[in-house]
């Protein structure tokens, strides 16, 4: 971020113990899940415990204690110093910080949650067809501000020639990974601004 390596998001601030074993996160008040429930430290503890992503076994093996100290104060204590922990909260490093609503997941179960996920991000889930399309709509109660783009549809189109044709005809706003002759054609065409290069 422009102002620092790490910038507050769902946690408005945090502290790290001198021995790098305990991290305390002051959660932002008023953050809503897509079903209207407020995010609390209980949701964070629940999310950390159920995390199953790539580095899950490593992270879980290092954790000594997870605690919701109050509705807006979450802490994690590690068995040994873990100075790199904040790195795992960054987008792309892991999804352990993608907080899920505890009450909703416990009510509907993991299988139903996978079919109808709820989070607290700028877009809420509408539809997913594996290998075809993912549809989301702007979440008007997003804690930062509602997105300007009110709906997105991400299509999985494996053939470059089809992506090129869809962008050329205006069926999509942009197409990615246009390479070789398709990139050259797109660059020369009237809609070239809608097609990403390699």
In sequence order, what are the residues at sequence separation of 6 or more whose Cβ sits closer than 8 angstroms to the Cβ of residue 69? 24, 41, 75
Phi-psi region of 124 (alpha: psi -120 to 50; beta: other; left: phi over 0): beta
The pLDDT, as a whole number, for residue 177 is 72
Could you tell me if 129 and 97 lie in one domain? no
The pLDDT, as a whole number, for residue 33 is 97
Could you tell me if 133 and 182 lie in one domain? yes
* Domains: count for the chain: 2
Could you tell me if 45 and 91 lie in one domain? yes
The pLDDT, as a whole number, for residue 92 is 81
pLDDT by 10s per residue, the chain, length 198:
566 667 788 999 999 999 999 999 999 999 999 999 999 999 999 999 999 988 999 999 999 999 999 999 999 999 999 999 999 998 788 889 899 999 999 999 999 999 999 999 999 999 999 989 999 999 999 999 899 999 999 888 888 788 778 877 888 887 777 665 555 555 555 544 444 444
Instruction: State how far the Cα of 191 lies from the Cα of 35, in Å rounded to an integer.
Output: 39
* Dihedral sign of CA atoms 148, 96, 105, 72 in order: negative
The pLDDT, as a whole number, for residue 56 is 93
Is residue 111, in this structure, part of any structural domain at all?
no
Residue 123 backbone phi and psi in degrees, to 5 = -125, 140
Instruction: State how far the Cα of 39 lies from the Cα of 10, in Å rounded to an integer.
Output: 9
The pLDDT, as a whole number, for residue 187 is 57
* Dihedral sign of CA atoms 104, 110, 115, 119 in order: positive
Could you tell me if 55 and 20 lie in one domain? yes
């Amino acid at each position: 971020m422009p102002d620092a390596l790490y910038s507050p998001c769902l946690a408005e601030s945090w502290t790290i113990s001198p021995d790098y074993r305990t991290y305390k996160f002051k959660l932002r008040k008023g953050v809503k899940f897509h079903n209207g429930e407020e995010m609390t430290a209980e949701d964070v503890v629940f999310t950390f415990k159920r995390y199953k992503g790539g580095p899950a076994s490593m992270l879980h093996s290092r954790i000594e204690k997870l605690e919701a100290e109050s509705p807006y104060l979450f802490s994690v204590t590690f068995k040994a110093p873990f100075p790199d922990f904040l790195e795992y909260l960054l987008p792309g490093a892991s999804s352990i910080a993608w907080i899920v609503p505890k009450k909703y997941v416990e009510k509907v179960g993991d299988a139903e949650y996978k079919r109808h996920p709820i989070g607290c991000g700028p877009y809420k889930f509408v539809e997913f067809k594996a290998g075809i399309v993912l549809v989301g709509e702007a979440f008007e109660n997003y804690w930062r501000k509602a997105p300007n783009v009110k709906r997105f549809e991400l299509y999985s189109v494996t053939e470059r020639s089809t992506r090129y044709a869809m962008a050329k005809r205006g069926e999509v706003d942009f197409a990615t990974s246009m390479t070789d002759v398709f990139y050259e054609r797109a660059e020369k065409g009237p809609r070239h601004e809608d097609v990403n290069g390699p």
